Chain A
Amino acid sequence: MILKLKTLLFDKIWEKLMFAFITRRIIQAVIVMLIISFIGFTIKHHVGDPVRELVGVSVKASEREALREKLGLNDPFFVQYKNFLKNAVKGDFGISYFFKKPASQVILEKAPATLELVFASSILIILLSIPLGTYCAIKPKSILSRLIMGMSIVGVSIPVFLTAIMLIFLFAVNLHILPSYGRGDTVPILWGMWDTGFLTLDGLKHLILPVIALSSIMLPLFIRLIRAEMMEVMQTEYIKFAFAKGLSKKRIWFVHAFKNTLLPVITVGGVQLGIMIAYTILTETVFQWQGMGFMFLEAVERSDTSLLVAYLMFVGVLFVVVNTIVDIIYGFINPKVRISGTK
C-alpha cells in the first residue's frame, strides 16, 4: 500500500518536472531563435548584395538602385529587422530571391533530402561503431583492433570533401558502379510532402556514396569513443567483481559494461548530430545533393538573404529539439540522472 502510494507520488512529481522541463526548453528555444535571427540578420548585410545577383553586369546603377528600393533593402537595419520579426511570428520568413517562393517553403522542400542523408548516415554509424568499438575494447591487442584503430585515425584526418571526391573518382568515374551526383529517382510519400529516395533502387544507389562520405568523420570518432569508454568501464570495480563472481563474459560485456558505455556516447551523439548537419553542407555541395546544406551554400553565394536567415533559424530549432530529445533519453537510460525542472 505504502509502496503503491510512493510510486503514485513519484509519477506525479515526474510529470510535473517533465512539464516544467519542456516549458523551459521552449522558452530557451525562443531565446535562441531571437539571438540567431539577430545574428543572421546582422551577417546578411555582409554576405553580399542580393541585387547584384539578380541583374546582369551591364545594368545601370540607377536601375539597381530602383530594385534595391523595391525590395526594401534601403530601409535602416532596425526597420528591416522589425519587419522581419513581425512577419516571422506569422511564419513568413520572406521570399527567396532565387527560388521565387517563401523561404520556409523552400526549406521544407529541401529538408527531406538532408534528413534522409543524416538518418542513413546515423544508422550506418550506429550499426558499425558499436560492434567495432566494443570489439576494439574487449580485444585491444588483436591485429584487427589495431587495424581498425589505424584506419580510424586516417578517417578522422581526411576532410569530408576530399573523401567525397575520392569516392566519386573511384566508384563513379573509374569503376562506373555508382552514380556521381544528385538524388536519383525519388517518390513522393506523406501526401506529397516528402520526396523519398529510400523506396527506389536508383535512389538508394545515389545514397551510398554521400552516406559514406558524411559518415567518414563521425564513424571513426564513435569507434574511438566507444572503445575508450568501454575500456574505462572494464577497469571499474563492479566489472572486476562481476568477473570474480563468475558471470559469463558475454553477459558482463554486453549487459553490464555496455550499458554504462552508452551514457557518454549518447551525450556526444546528440552534439555530433548537430555537427553532422553542418557537414552536410560540404557533402551535399560535392555530390550536388539537393538538400538544405547545398541550398544554404548557394544562398550564401547568391546572397539570397531571406533563405539564409531562415535556414539558420531552422537549424537552430533542430539543435534545440535534438538536444531536448537527448536529455530525455538520457534520463531513461540512467535513472540516477533526473531531468531538473526547477532550480
Chain B
Amino acid sequence: MKKIFYSICAAVLLISASVQAKTITLGVAADPIALDIHVQLSGEMLAYSHLSFDPLVRWTKDMKFEPRLAEKWERLDELTMRFHLRKGVKFHSGNTFTAKDVVWTVERLKKSQDFKGLFEIFEKAAAVDEYTVDIKTKKPYGLFLNMMTYLFPMDSDFYTGTDENGKPKDAIDKVAATFANTHESGTGPFYVTYREQGVKTVFKRFADYWDKDCPGNIDELIMNPIKKDATRVASLLSGDVDFIYPVAPQDYAMVKNRKGVKLVTMGGSRIITFQLNQNRRPEFKNADVRKAIVYAVNNEGIVEKIMKGEAVAAGQQGPKGFGGYIEELKPRYDLKKAKELMKKAGYEKGFECTMIAPNNRYVNDEKIAEAVAAMLSKINIKVNLKTMPKAQYWNSFDAQEADIQMIGWHPDTEDSANYSEYLVMTPSKETGYGQYNSGNYSNKKVDELVLACQTETDPDVRNAMLKEIETILYNEAAFIPLHWQNLSWAGKDNLDIEPIVNIMNFPYFGELVAK
C-alpha cells in the first residue's frame, strides 16, 4: 500500500515538474527562409538570429549599445576598434566561442550577397589573442557599432568542412538545402530541435547559455508562421498561441478589449513616402509644385482615419530618437497654401499623372494611396492610381513606370543617413547610391553631406550634418512624407512583453518571462 502511495507521490511530483517546463507558441507572419543567418537580410532572419545566436553588441530599447559577446571595446585609431570578448561562452555544438569565430564570421559576412553591402567598409578582423579581436575599417566609419549588432558569431569549427554530399558546410546558397541552411550552431538562448519550412520551428532553451543573469524562463518556443492577419489574431484570442506579431491596426481594438491578452505598440522607424519622378514629369522639377503636393496631403488625417491612430505622421525621414531628427519639421497640411503654390508655379489648372503603390506590402498601403490620390485632386492634380501585389511591384518601381511611386523604408543601420543613401541621393549605377530614388531628386549638397556622414566619427558633428540634410529635404520637398508605421505585438497576460520588444522589431525572446 505504502509503495503505491509513494509511486503516486512520485508521479505527481514528476507531473508538476513537467508542468514547470514552460512552452510558448508564437504566431508570426513569416518564418526565416533558412537556418543560415547570412542567407537573407530580413526582419524574420534577424529575429531568428537573436534567438539562436548573439551579436557582439546589441541595441537596447532606448537605442544604446549593450555588450553581448563583446564585453567591452575601445578605439585603437580612427580605423580600428578592439573588442574584448566574453569568456566561457559555448556554442550549441559544445565548442567554445573564441576570437577566431569572430574573424571567420566577418569573412563570411563579406561573402554574403545580402550582407556584403553593409560589411564592405570593413577591411578585416584579426584575432589578437583568444579573447581579443581587432576589427578594422577601410576608412573612418561613423556606424561602426551599429554594424556590430549584425555580427552574430557563428561556430567556425561546426561550419567548416564538407557535408555528406561533398559540399562545403559554409556555402551560402539561397535556393539549395545546404548544410548551413539546415543546421545551426550559435551561442544564443535557444537551439533548433525541429524545423519544417513554412510550417513550424521548435526551439529549446540552451542549458549552457552564457548569460546567467538572463531573466527568461521559457524552456520551449514553438514558432508557427500564420500568414493571414485575421487568422493570427484569432489564434491568439482562441488561446491556440501565446504571442503574435505583427497585429493589424484594424484588430487593435479587439485585442485591447479582450480579457486575458494585451497589446503592445511602439512607434517604428519605417517611413512611408511617395516619390515624385522629376525625369518623367517636368512639373515635379519645380520645388513649388512638390511643396504644393506636400501641403495638399493631410497625412495626419491618414494616420487618424486609415491607420486608426497607430502610426506617427511624419515631416522628415527619421523618427524621434534618430540622429537627424528635428522637432520643428512637422507635417504641414494646408490646402490653401497648396493652392497658392500651384498658382505661383503656374499650374493652377493642374495636370494629370500616374501613381503606383503596392497592395500587400505596407500596412493599409492601398487605402493610403487612394486617399493621397483623392487629396491631390483638390489641387487639380488628377491621379491615375494602379496598385499591385508586392511580387510585381518592385520591378515596376525600378522601371519607374509611374510619375508618383510609393516606398517605405526601414534603415538597416538604424541611422538617419541610411534613408538618404537609398532614397534621396543622386541615383548612380556605379556607386549604388540612390538605389530606390525613383523621384530622381538630386542635390549636390545632400550627396556631399551623406558621404561626409559615413566617415565622421564624432557623433555631435555627425548629427549636425544629418540635421542639415533633413532640413534641406524638408525645404525642397524632396519627397512626400506620410508616416512611421507603429510596431505591434500581442500576447497572453502572463507574458511580460514590454521589456523584450524594441524599435527594430527583433523581440529578445531569450529574455521573455512567463508568470
Residues of B within 8 A of A119 (CB): none
Interface segment, one of A57-65, A79-87, A256-264, A314-322: A57-65
Interface residue A100 (Cβ < 8 Å from any Cβ of B): yes
Q: Is the interface of B mostly helix, strand, loop or mixed?
A: loop
State the CA gap A45–B33 with chains docked (Å): 22
Residues of A within 8 A of B118 (CB): 58
Interface residue B17 (Cβ < 8 Å from any Cβ of A): no
B41 and A290 form a contact (CB under 8 A): no
Which chain A residues numbered 155 to 183 have a C-beta less than 8 Å away from chain B?
Answer: 165, 168-169, 172-173, 176, 179-182
B237 and A173 form a contact (CB under 8 A): yes
- Count CB-based A-B contacts (< 8 Å): 132
State the CA gap A58–B422 with chains docked (Å): 8
State the CA gap A231–B389 with chains docked (Å): 48
If A168-B238, A285-B227 touch, whether A48 touches B389 (CB-CB below 8 Å) is yes
Min C-beta distance of B117 to chain A, whole Å: 6
B42 and A180 form a contact (CB under 8 A): no
Interface residue A32 (Cβ < 8 Å from any Cβ of B): no
A49 and B391 form a contact (CB under 8 A): yes
A298 and B234 form a contact (CB under 8 A): no
Residues of A within 8 A of B394 (CB): 49, 52
What is the total number of residues of chain B having a CB less than 8 Å from a CB of chain A? 46
Which chain B residues numbered 425 to 443 have a C-beta less than 8 Å away from chain A?
Answer: 429, 432, 435-436
Interface residue A20 (Cβ < 8 Å from any Cβ of B): no
B40 and A100 form a contact (CB under 8 A): no
B239 (CB) vs chain A CBs: closest residue: A176
B181 (CB) vs chain A CBs: closest residue: A100
Interface residue A56 (Cβ < 8 Å from any Cβ of B): yes
Interface residue from A48, A286, A298, A300 paired with B198 (Cβ < 8 Å): A298
B43 (CB) vs chain A CBs: closest residue: A56
Residues of B within 8 A of A180 (CB): 231, 234-235, 237-238, 240
B113 and A55 form a contact (CB under 8 A): yes
Interface segment, one of A10-18, A91-99, A237-245: A91-99
State the CA gap A49–B389 with chains docked (Å): 11
Interface residue from B34, B389, B391 paired with A100 (Cβ < 8 Å): B34
Interface residue from A63, A97, A285, A298 paired with B113 (Cβ < 8 Å): A63
A172 and B238 form a contact (CB under 8 A): yes
State the CA gap A59–B116 with chains docked (Å): 8
State the CA gap A298–B391 with chains docked (Å): 11
Residues of B within 8 A of A298 (CB): 198, 227
Write the A32-57 contact mask toward B (1 if CB under 8 angstroms, else 0): 00000000000000111100111111
Interface residue A303 (Cβ < 8 Å from any Cβ of B): yes
If A48-B392, A54-B175, A176-B238 touch, whether A59 touches B41 (CB-CB below 8 Å) is yes
Nearest 10 A-B pairs (CB), nearest first?
Answer: A48-B391, A56-B41, A172-B238, A180-B238, A173-B237, A100-B177, A56-B114, A180-B234, A168-B234, A54-B174
18 residue pairs A–B, Cβ–Cβ below 8 Å: A47-B392, A52-B391, A52-B395, A56-B40, A56-B114, A58-B435, A59-B117, A61-B398, A61-B429, A62-B432, A100-B175, A100-B181, A172-B238, A181-B27, A181-B234, A285-B228, A287-B231, A288-B224
Q: A47-B392, A168-B231 are in contact. List 13 more A-B contacts (CB 8 A).
A: A49-B395, A54-B40, A55-B40, A58-B41, A61-B398, A66-B113, A98-B33, A99-B198, A172-B235, A173-B238, A179-B238, A288-B227, A302-B391
